[in-house]
Structures are given as C-alpha cells and as structure tokens.
Amino acid sequence: MEVLAGQKHKHLEFTLVAVSELSSSSVPPLSTPVIARFSVDSGVAELRFRQDSGFIDGFNVNLGTGQLFKLGPLKSLCISGSSDSNKEKSYARGVTILFRNEEESRDFHSAFEQWQNEDVTQGTHLPNGAISDVKSKFDNKIESSSAKMYFHYYGQLLHQQNMLQDYVRTGTYYAAVIENRADFTGRVVVDVGAGSGILSLFAAQAGAKHVYAVEASEMAEYARKLIAGNPSLGQRITVIRGKVEEVELPEKADILISEPMGTLLVNERMLESYIIARDRFLVPKGKMFPSVGRIHMAPFSDEYLFVEIANKALFWQQQNYYGVDLTALHGSAFQGYFSQPVVDAFDPRLLVSPPMSHVIDFNEAKEEDLYEIDIPLKFLASVGTGVHGLACWFDVLFNGSTVQRWLTTAPGAPTTHWYQIRCVLSQPIYVMAGQEITGRLHMVAHNAQSYTIYLTLSAKMWGPGAEQGGIIQSSSCKLDLKEPYYRMSQPQPYTTAQDQQPHQLLQPQDIPIHTDDLEEPKLLQQPLENSGAQLQ
C-alpha cells in the first residue's frame, strides 16, 4: 500500500494479485500484478486499475455509486454504476479482485469505505445528477434501533433454523422452484433477503445461470459457508451483504425470489423491500416468486379467548397490594391487553362467516401502496353468536409457467410458523344468523417496521324496522402489530352449536381471485366442491 507523502488522500495504491471482469467470460483475468489506485479526478473520487505502464480501460469505478463486497478471505467483488445520465441507471460491470493476503484485503475495504464516505460528505454528483444521500431509503423510513434488532434477530442461526424447519414453508418454496425449472434454467436470479441462502440453492438446483443472494444481516457470512459447502451449486451463487435499497448488481435479474412475508403478510415491512428490488433489478416482464399475496379476514367467536385476555387485567383490581390500591390502572391495563393481536392456530369452526380477501399483486403494487392499507369489511353471519373480533391469515401465489402453487397459512391447514392472527375487541357485538356485519380494517405503517391496526366492526339492525337501516352495535379497537400476544397452545376442542354448520377446512383455492382484483385471468382458481374436510 502506498500513500503520496504530505498530501493526504491525493492518491492511495494497493498491489493486487489479479482482477477480472465478472460478467464476461470472453475477457481473460489480468493475472500479472495489478495496481489499484484511489484518486480524485475533476472533483470525483474514483478507483482505477493499472497494469505495467498504463491504466486499464473500462475498469474505473466511481466511488459515488460503486459498491464493494467480500466474496472470501482473499476475493472481493467491486461493482460500478453507469455514468450515462441520459439513460436508465444500469448496473454497468462487476470486477472481481484477488488480494495477496487477508490483511491487505481488510485494508483495501477500509480504504474503499473511507474514500467513499469522504466523497459522499463532499456532495459528489451521481450519474443522474442527484446528490448522494448519506441515508438510504430504508434508513430514512425505519427507526435505527428497530433495524438493528431486526438484523440481529435474522443474523442468528437458531431463528433461521426455526424457519427452515417450517416444512410447509420450505417445502412449498422448493416445490414451486423445482416444478418450474423452465422459469429458472439459464436465468439470472436475485434472492431478496437471502438469509441462510436456501432459496438461492434451490434456484441453482433448478438450473439458474447465476444467483445474487442479497442479505443485510450477519447471516450473509453463514450463507457463504453453506453455499461453499455445496460447491457444485455455489459456483453459480454470489452472496452480497447489504440492503436491496443500497447495493448495486452487475446485471439485471430475470427472476426475483424472496420470502418477504411477515405476520398478517405485511409485518416487518419487507414487502416494501421486495417491491424496491423489483423496480431496481428485475427486467421488464420478469417473474417474481411469489407474485401475489392475499390477506383473508372473517369475524370469529371465541369466549374462551376473550375471557383469557380480560382476566389478565384482574391483577390491577387489587385494592391492597402491599398497602397500595392498584385499581386506578385497571382500565389502562385492560385496554393494553386488548391492543395486542393474538398469534396462534385456531379451529376454523370459530369463524362466524365465510372470509373475504384483500389482494396485493407484487408485480404491480407500488411501495407507497403499503404505507397505508384500508380494507372495507362486509360479512353475512352464518350463526347467531357473539362476535369477539376479526381473524386474519394470508396466502401467496407462485405463478410459475409450468405449475401454480400456493403457500397458505389458513386455519385448519397444516400450521406454519406464521400461525394466524386475531384482533380481539374489548367489547363484543352480538348477531343473528343472516345478519350483516360491516366495518373497516385500517393499517398504517410505522417506523418500527410494523403497523398500527384500527379495527371497527358493526352489526346492522335486524328484524322489524330493519328496512329503515341504522347501526345498533359497533365496537372498535387499536392494536400494534409489532407487539403481539403469542398464544401457541393447540386449538381447543370447541363444541359446535346445534344451529351452527361447521366450516370446512379453508384452502387457498376455496377463495378465488376475482378479475376485479387482478388483471391476469390465468390466476383464477376454481373452488373445490364439497371437499368434505372437517376438523373432528
């Protein structure tokens, strides 16, 4: 490493073993020693490569847009964005760099970051003429403490194991990829939020030409180890540590694959990153696995659950707790317990009506569409009972060219690590069979990577005078999806009332996607007739 004395950051040089262009097999690696030089040219900080007596044409990197990723102890990938301001930003080219030892590799990465940070601080102009922002789009909308906890959580192998051992989840992804080899063979794939790298390995098994596994947490290092342990597949996979909002790739993707779903589909707000990745990396008419998500909702009746939650606040009704009267806080505690969505697996016979659904088409949705989700609710009660809240679950569609496959979290279907979610009202409403239930589910995203939920359910007048309309009962609640109550016990063996018809197991194809929701009629699924599947 050489620095020109007396002129800090005038230029900085490293001796490398070799450099080669990533995306072109026709360009041989420069195997004789190469000098990497950090310098400033016309106010723009850049990295250039020199061999023998001159610089290598086309291998210069603008540090305002460049990205550097570690591929191994002695190998890194450097990517430069396009400098043509009149065209859509491309992903220009990638250069692999081979170092002499690990110490020089660390020094090079440190120098790259230092020069890049100084370039950003000085307001270097990017190819599109905008000034580089120190914070990415992700950083601007997500609280730093939430992001730190989020990436720490997913950077641990025990949590990855929990997801891998969800065999409904993992098996469905595997089947969706392998059964649609025609979509993957010879194609470039980007794995958004790659985690352990399992989906990247599936894509490689299906014949992908190359897979870029983008992962922002420390799990990226474990993914590299796992992929290196499968060399026949790993030679076609590149792990890139960083957020999809920030990284640059050397080429566009034919397919995006990801597992961006959280509780109630949208929790953790990773769907937004999935859509950003679509806009940044996917070729026009490229495929997304999954391509469609649906949130399903239905009112439910569960007296046991209601009493369980209400009883939690009884502690605060003590009038002599070590000489202290706690009753002043009972009301606040009562509302606090009902502000927690309940995550568990429940018996589908608890549903009071057939469900309705809200469709999100990942191919068409805008990131901003997920900032606020407003769903009008309308149901017809199947039984006369007390309604204790709204039950929700989701499914996603892998719309392959060969096979369409659904991943569902419906009650009564095999349980996943997502379970189902229930929003419980602190004041139930009561309905008769055939009575209409209306309301609104309003979800507003917040900077802790989740949503505030506002739910209202109402029952219209029933019997004589109903034609005059009007609402006779209404109940509302406010919940924080970030702070659920994990109630992981198995579903209770509820007794079916004599006038209640047990609901059949809810399969994703039982709730068709209507052409009003999606433009592609090929996504329509026909309901199964009289499947006969019931919980015993």
More confident position, 225 or 130: 225
The C-alpha atoms of residue 182 and residue 188 are separated, in whole angstroms, by 13
Is 208's pLDDT higher than 80?
A: yes
* Residue of 259, 272, 364, 372 marked active site: 259
- pLDDT tens per residue, range 384-436: 999 999 999 999 999 999 999 999 999 999 999 999 999 999 999 999 999 99
The CATH number of 293-486 is which of 3.40.470.10, 2.60.120.10, 2.70.160.11, 3.40.50.720? 2.70.160.11
For the chain, what is the mean pLDDT? 83
The C-alpha atoms of residue 167 and residue 484 are separated, in whole angstroms, by 24
pLDDT category of residue 515 using cuts at 50, 70 and 90: very low
- What's the mean pLDDT in 139-143? 88
8-state DSSP, 403? -
The C-alpha atoms of residue 80 and residue 95 are separated, in whole angstroms, by 9
The single-letter code of the amino acid at 236 is R
Percent of the chain topping pLDDT 90:
61
More confident position, 327 or 137: 327
User: What pLDDT score was predicted for residue 444?
Assistant: 96
For residue 96, the cross-strand partners are 20, 77
- pLDDT tens per residue, range 311-366: 999 999 999 999 999 999 999 999 999 999 999 999 999 999 999 999 999 999 99
User: What pLDDT score was predicted for residue 518?
Assistant: 46
Phi, then psi, of 201 in degrees rounded to 5: -65, -40
Least confident of 190-204, 279-293, 476-490: 476-490
Q: Which residues contact 53 (CB under 8 A, 6 or more apart)?
A: none
Is 137's pLDDT higher than 80?
A: no
Strand 485-486 to 61-62 pairing:
unpaired
User: What pLDDT score was predicted for residue 462?
Assistant: 66
Site of tokens 């109940």: 475
Fold annotation for 11-83+92-118 = PH-domain like (2.30.29)
Contact 71, 57 (CB under 8 A): no
Contact 329, 405 (CB under 8 A): no
- Alpha helices by DSSP H, 339-397: none
Q: Which residues contact 401 (CB under 8 A, 6 or more apart)?
A: 180, 182, 183, 287
- pLDDT tens per residue, range 232-250: 999 999 999 999 999 999 9
User: What pLDDT score was predicted for residue 57?
Assistant: 66
Strand 210-215 to 237-241 pairing:
parallel
Quick one: which of 162, 167, 235 has its CA closest to 195? 162
- Alpha helices by DSSP H, 438-528: none
Instruction: Check for a shared fold between 154-259 and 293-486.
Output: no
Q: What is the dihedral of CA 134, 139, 144, 149, to 10 degrees?
A: -130
For residue 295, the cross-strand partners are 358, 394
The single-letter code of the amino acid at 181 is R
Is 87's pLDDT higher than 60?
A: no
User: What pLDDT score was predicted for residue 528?
Assistant: 36
Which two structure tokens, joined as six digits, stand for 75? 């190998």
User: What pLDDT score was predicted for residue 145?
Assistant: 92
The C-alpha atoms of residue 233 and residue 5 are separated, in whole angstroms, by 47
Is there a catalytic annotation at residue 308?
no
- What's the mean pLDDT in 3-19? 64
pLDDT category of residue 165 using cuts at 50, 70 and 90: very high
Percent of the chain topping pLDDT 70:
78
Which of 116-125, 305-314, 497-506 has maximum average pLDDT? 305-314
Q: Which residues contact 121 (CB under 8 A, 6 or more apart)?
A: 134
Is there a catalytic annotation at residue 259?
yes
Is the CA virtual torsion 20, 14, 218, 73 positive or negative?
positive
Which two structure tokens, joined as six digits, stand for 175? 């089947």
pLDDT category of residue 504 using cuts at 50, 70 and 90: very low
Contact 31, 53 (CB under 8 A): no
The C-alpha atoms of residue 229 and residue 217 are separated, in whole angstroms, by 20
More confident position, 25 or 377: 377
Q: Please state, as a whole number, how many other Cβ atoms lie within 10 Å of the Cβ of residue 142.
A: 21
pLDDT category of residue 92 using cuts at 50, 70 and 90: low
Strand 188-192 to 210-215 pairing:
parallel
User: Rounded to two decimals, what is the model's pTM?
Assistant: 0.72
More confident position, 260 or 123: 260
* Residue of 268, 303, 368, 467 marked active site: 268
Strand 342-344 to 253-258 pairing:
unpaired
- Alpha helices by DSSP H, 102-252: 102-121, 137-141, 144-154, 157-164, 167-178, 181-184, 198-205, 219-228, 231-234
Q: Would you kindly state where each structural domain of the chain is located, as residue ranges?
A: 11-83+92-118, 154-259, 293-486
Least confident of 49-58, 213-222, 412-421: 49-58
Maximum separation of any 2 CA atoms in the chain, in Å: 97
Q: Please state, as a whole number, how many other Cβ atoms lie within 10 Å of the Cβ of residue 236.
A: 17
**End-to-end CA separation in angstroms for the chain:** 73
The C-alpha atoms of residue 180 and residue 174 are separated, in whole angstroms, by 10
Domain 154-259: give its CATH code: 3.40.50.150
Contact 200, 211 (CB under 8 A): yes
